[in-house]
C-alpha cells in the first residue's frame, strides 16, 4: 500500500508519472480515497474553489457518423431527429445569459445542414452577448475551424474517446484515428482552447490504453478534459456490453488532474447517470466545471447519447438552481468569470 501512496505523493508533488505508474494506480483500489483527496487538493491549489458553469445547447441530434456506442448514430432509426434553426440557437443562448451563464457550449451530431455561413452567423450573434463560446460539432477542415475562430469561437471540444487506434476505428466505422489527431493539432495551431477526453469502459479497452489516454492529454497540452463512463445504449450494437465503471472513471479523472493541475475538468453528466451524487463526487475528486443543459422542452430527451441521462425532464431554470445548490452544499462557489484556463508555471 505504501508504494501506491508514494505514487500518489509523487504525482501530487511533480505532476509526472510514467505509463507503468499510472497503470498501477488504476489497477490498485487500496488507496482510492487518498487518490481522490490528492486530486481535490491539487484542484484547490491550482484552480481554486470556483466551479465554472457552461450552458449546454444541444442543437441537433442528426449525425452522419455511425459510432457503435452512440445513440445518435446514423443507423439508429429509433431516435426522432431534430435540428434547431440558427435563430432558435441564438435565442437559447440569450436565455442562458439571463440565467447567469458566462460560457455557452454548442453541441450537436455531425450535421452537415449547418453551412459555414450559418455557423458564422450563430457564433457572431452569440459572441455579442459577452460570453465565452465552445463548439463541439466534430471533424471539420482547418479552413472551417479558422473561420469559426475568426467569427469569435473561443474553445473547441473534440473527444478522442480512445487513443488506441484499432479500438477507435473498430468503435467508429469509417472514421480515421489520424484524422481525429489532425483535428486536435489544427485546433491547437489556430489558438483555440482545446478540449478532448475519453470514454472509460469501452469493450476491448485495457487499463494500459487508459494510461495512454492520460499521457496523450498531457502530451498535447489539452486545456479541457472530459472523462466519463461508457453507458450501453439499447439502440446500438453495444447494447449488451458491460459498460464503464464509475470508480475507474473517477480514477482516470483524478490522475488527469494530478498530472495536469491547471486545466478545466468537467464533472460529466454520465457520472451522475451511474451514481446519483456523481457530479458532486467528481467535483470533490478533481473536477471544477459543470455543464448544465440549457436546451428546452422535448429536445432534452431526444439528444439520447445513452440511457438514463439525467435532468431530461427539467427546465433550464431548474437545472441552474439545482446545480448551484449542490455546489454550495460542498463549500464551493459558482464562478462569475468566463472560465478560461489560467496556465500556472510549475
Is 63 annotated as a binding-site member?
Answer: yes
Question: What pLDDT score was predicted for residue 269?
Answer: 92
Is 70 annotated as a binding-site member?
Answer: yes
The span from the CA of 112 to the CA of 265, in Å, is 29
The values of phi and psi at residue 68, to 5°, are -60, -30
What residues contact residue 334 under an 8 Å CB cut-off, 6+ apart? 50, 51, 53, 100, 324, 327, 328
In degrees, rounded to 5, the angle at the alpha carbon of residue 157 between the alpha carbons of residues 247 and 277 is 30
Is 319 annotated as a binding-site member?
Answer: no
Mind listing the pLDDT tens digit of every residue in the chain (346 residues)?
569 999 999 999 999 999 999 999 999 999 999 999 999 999 999 999 999 999 999 999 999 999 999 999 999 999 999 999 999 999 999 999 999 999 999 999 999 999 999 999 999 999 999 999 999 999 999 999 999 999 999 999 999 999 999 999 999 999 999 999 999 999 999 999 999 999 999 999 999 999 999 999 999 999 999 999 999 999 999 999 999 999 999 999 999 999 999 999 999 999 999 999 999 999 999 999 999 999 998 999 999 888 888 888 889 999 999 999 999 999 999 999 999 999 998 7
The span from the CA of 43 to the CA of 49, in Å, is 8
The span from the CA of 279 to the CA of 266, in Å, is 9
Third-level CATH fold of 2-330? TIM Barrel (3.20.20)
Pairing of strands 224-229, 289-290: unpaired
Q: Which residues pair with 134 in a beta bridge?
A: 105, 155
Question: What pLDDT score was predicted for residue 1?
Answer: 54
Predicted TM-score of the model (pTM): 0.97
The values of phi and psi at residue 340, to 5°, are -70, 150
10 Å CB burial of residue 144 (0-12, 13-18, 19+) is: middle
Is 322 annotated as a binding-site member?
Answer: no
Is 161 annotated as a binding-site member?
Answer: yes
Question: What pLDDT score was predicted for residue 287?
Answer: 98
Amino acid at each position: 500500500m505504501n508504494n501506491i501512496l508514494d505514487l500518489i505523493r509523487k504525482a501530487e508533488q511533480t505532476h509526472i508519472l510514467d505509463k507503468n505508474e499510472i497503470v498501477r494506480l488504476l489497477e490498485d483500489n487500496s488507496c482510492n480515497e487518498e487518490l481522490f483527496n490528492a486530486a481535490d487538493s491539487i484542484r484547490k491549489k491550482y484552480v481554486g474553489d470556483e466551479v465554472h458553469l457552461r450552458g449546454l445547447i444541444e442543437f441537433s441530434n442528426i449525425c452522419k457518423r455511425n459510432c457503435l456506442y452512440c445513440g445518435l448514430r446514423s443507423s439508429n432509426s429509433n431516435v426522432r431527429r431534430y435540428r434547431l434553426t440558427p435563430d432558435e440557437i441564438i435565442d437559447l443562448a440569450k436565455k442562458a445569459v439571463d440565467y447567469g451563464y458566462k460560457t455557452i457550449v454548442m453541441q450537436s451530431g455531425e450535421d452537415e445542414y449547418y453551412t459555414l455561413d450559418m455557423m458564422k452567423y450563430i457564433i457572431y450573434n452569440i459572441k455579442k452577448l459577452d460570453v465565452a463560446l465552445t463548439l463541439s460539432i466534430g471533424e471539420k477542415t482547418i479552413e472551417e475551424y479558422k473561420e469559426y475562430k475568426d467569427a469569435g469561437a473561443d474553445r473547441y471540444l473534440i473527444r478522442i474517446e480512445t487513443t488506441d487506434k484499432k479500438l477507435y476505428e473498430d468503435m467508429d466505422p469509417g472514421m480515421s484515428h489520424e484524422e481525429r489527431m489532425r483535428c486536435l493539432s489544427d485546433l491547437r495551431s489556430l489558438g483555440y482552447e482545446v478540449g478532448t477526453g475519453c470514454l472509460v469502459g469501452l469493450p476491448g479497452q485495457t487499463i494500459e490504453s487508459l494510461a495512454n489516454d492520460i499521457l496523450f492529454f498531457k502530451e498535447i497540452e489539452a486545456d479541457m478534459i472530459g472523462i466519463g463512463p461508457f453507458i450501453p445504449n439499447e439502440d446500438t450494437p453495444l447494447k449488451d456490453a458491460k459498460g464503464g465503471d464509475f470508480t475507474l472513471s473517477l480514477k482516470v479523472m483524478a490522475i488527469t488532474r494530478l498530472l495536469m493541475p491547471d486545466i478545466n475538468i468537467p464533472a460529466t453528466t454520465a457520472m451522475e447517470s451511474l451514481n446519483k451524487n456523481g457530479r458532486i463526487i467528481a467535483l470533490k475528486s478533481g473536477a471544477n466545471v459543470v455543464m448544465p443543459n440549457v436546451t428546452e422542452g422535448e429536445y432534452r430527451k431526444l439528444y439520447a447519447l445513452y440511457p438514463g441521462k439525467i435532468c431530461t425532464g427539467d427546465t433550464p431554470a431548474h437545472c441552474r438552481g439545482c446545480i448551484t445548490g449542490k455546489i454550495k452544499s460542498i463549500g464551493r462557489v459558482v464562478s462569475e468569470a468566463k472560465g478560461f484556463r489560467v496556465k500556472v508555471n510549475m
